[in-house]
Amino acid sequence: MIEKQKSYKSDFTETGKVDVDIWELRAEEREHILKQIAKNARKTRIRNWFELIFMLSFIYYMLYDTYKAGDFDTIIKLLKP
């Protein structure tokens, strides 16, 4: 079995697809591809905004919790030179 595995050549990296110039396609196909790209970009942008909002709210919560615990003054003293 090991000998068979060593002699086996995989064509996994070959996709069989040829790179196509988008401007050589028909107008309908081109519009569909561009709509898919815009849709994915919009989803990524929305996801980035959600991540930013959650990150900022977590930082705000941690700072508020530290302030309520009374350790905020100590942190400021450590940060000042």
Q: Is the pLDDT of residue 8 over 60?
A: no
CA triple 33-35-39, angle to 5 deg: 120
Mean pLDDT for the chain overall: 77
Can you tell me the distance from the alpha carbon of 46 to that of 43, in angstroms, rounded to the nearest whole number? 5
Share of the chain above pLDDT 70, in %: 72
**pLDDT, tens digit, for every residue of 38-75?**
888 888 889 999 999 999 999 888 878 777 877 777 77
Task: Tell me, rounded to whole angstroms, the distance of Cα 2 from its chain centroid.
Answer: 39
What's the pTM?
0.47
